[in-house]
A = this chain, B = another copy of it.
Amino acid sequence: MSEYADLSPGGPGVGAVEKRFFTFAQDEPFVLESGAAIGPVTLAYETYGALDPDGANAVLVCHALTGDSHAAGVYHGADPKPGWWEVMIGPGKGIDTNRHFVICSNVLGGCMGSTGPASLNPETGRPWGLAFPVLTIGDMVRAQKVLLDHLGVKRVLAAVGGSMGGMQVLEWAARYPETVVSAIALATAAKHSALHIAFHEVARQAIVADPDWNGGDYYHGPKPAHGLAVARMIGHITYLSDEAMRHKFGRGLQDRADFSFSFDADFQVESYLRYQGRKFVERFDANSFLYITRAADYFDLGATHGQGSLTKAFSRGDTRFLVVSFSSDWLYPTYQSRELVQALKRAGRDVSFCEIEAQWGHDAFLLDSPRLSGLVAGHLERTRRDLGRDLRRGLP
């Protein structure tokens, strides 16, 4: 990938950005796959770069489980936290904001500005809590489609995302192939496995076991902080590989020379997990965690779009694909990406696949990787060149 050696993932970002809000389904409710209907629906979103006059440079970024619309840049004022994919999105980066118009929205069911269980239920004037309908990855994507229509984006050069973001990307390609010129699916799978479901279920049980969860009705009292922290700790273990944990922590002790012979956080890895748990509680809504993990567990693209056949689910349109897995990712192992790639090939899709050697486990897709940035930049560049050629030829 020497042609992309000048990528600057560590370089300057997109600068100051602004969180925007788009509200729809004010008159007609938004009907979910379950049959339940909600409205109005608000999506929080951000954009970086500018849409070309021909509309051919839009890139939709889909976030993972606990991500949000703040994928790149910094907010004005009080919160200088950079976006969660700062290493990938920006001038001269893998998704080059000098060339592309990037859109990222918080998923439906989320808690970072989009409508979710913590939002007010218009019928009661109180937070939805568990009265919020259980939703699907398909519902999240359908809501994003309404946002894109609102923004005047008729077609995206690429939908890009990792983990649950990758599921949304695949859902986009199966549901709206005519809208998605290319799909970049990182560290993901076409359906959730028993192991995925098991980890999510235990995390959910940790939340509902917390008395402060109170059947989901805790918005006027203490939050289920202990349960949510445990849920997050479980997640963090699955995001790292055994090897990454050995390199990062090993059996190192935290601020002490020997064991405490107590239940203090003697080991660095204990201290790390407790910290991650505490930090998460400050920013995330426990009910959103329940709903979003449930949506991911329900995800089975072949079942939803192909009557049980993943190949059939990808039989429409001519979306091209880039699929990337990471060698040490045991949560979304490479074999799951290979299954996806095989189905895409059988469906006649143009697909590139790469397993990146990386020791950091599932987290690798979020980390600074010239290899990954190069793959994404190259895929976008080739797709745009081919799309331009097709447009000049008057092809759809």
Query: How far, in whole Å, are A242 and B210 apart by their CA atoms in the complex?
Result: 28
Query: How far, in whole Å, are A193 and B246 apart by their CA atoms in the complex?
Result: 7
Q: Are A195 and B234 in contact (CB under 8 A)?
A: no
Q: Determine the chain B residues whose CB is within 8 A of the CB of A201 once the complex forms.
A: 233, 265, 267, 269-270, 273-274
Q: Are B230 and A206 in contact (CB under 8 A)?
A: yes
Query: How far, in whole Å, are A277 and B267 apart by their CA atoms in the complex?
Result: 27
Total A residues in contact with B, Cβ cutoff 8 Å: 54
* A38 in the interface (beta carbon within 8 A): no
Q: Determine the chain B residues whose CB is within 8 A of the CB of A262 once the complex forms.
A: 134
* A250 in the interface (beta carbon within 8 A): yes
Interface flags, A216-258, vs B, CB<8A=1, else 0: 0000000000110110011001000010011011110000000
Q: Determine the chain B residues whose CB is within 8 A of the CB of A265 once the complex forms.
A: 201
Q: Determine the chain B residues whose CB is within 8 A of the CB of A226 once the complex forms.
A: 209-210
Q: Are B297 and A193 in contact (CB under 8 A)?
A: no
Q: Are B263 and A204 in contact (CB under 8 A)?
A: yes
- Of B208, B227, B245, B273, the contact of A193 (CB 8 Å cutoff): B245
Q: Are B36 and A202 in contact (CB under 8 A)?
A: no
* A362 in the interface (beta carbon within 8 A): no
* A205 in the interface (beta carbon within 8 A): yes
Q: Determine the chain B residues whose CB is within 8 A of the CB of A261 once the complex forms.
A: 34, 36, 133-134
* A348 in the interface (beta carbon within 8 A): no
Q: Determine the chain B residues whose CB is within 8 A of the CB of A277 once the complex forms.
A: 205
Closest Cβ neighbor of A335 among chain B residues: B242
Q: Are A251 and B191 in contact (CB under 8 A)?
A: yes
- Of B202, B269, B300, the contact of A233 (CB 8 Å cutoff): B202
A327 CB, min distance to chain B CBs, angstroms: 15
Q: Determine the chain B residues whose CB is within 8 A of the CB of A210 once the complex forms.
A: 209, 226
* A199 in the interface (beta carbon within 8 A): yes
Q: Are B270 and A208 in contact (CB under 8 A)?
A: no
Closest Cβ neighbor of A294 among chain B residues: B263
21 contacts between A and B (CB under 8 A): A34-B259, A34-B261, A134-B262, A193-B242, A194-B242, A194-B251, A194-B267, A195-B237, A195-B246, A198-B270, A199-B237, A201-B274, A202-B237, A204-B263, A205-B229, A205-B230, A206-B206, A206-B209, A206-B230, A242-B333, A330-B330
Known: A193-B250, A205-B274. 5 other contacts (CB 8 A): A197-B270, A198-B269, A202-B233, A206-B209, A234-B234
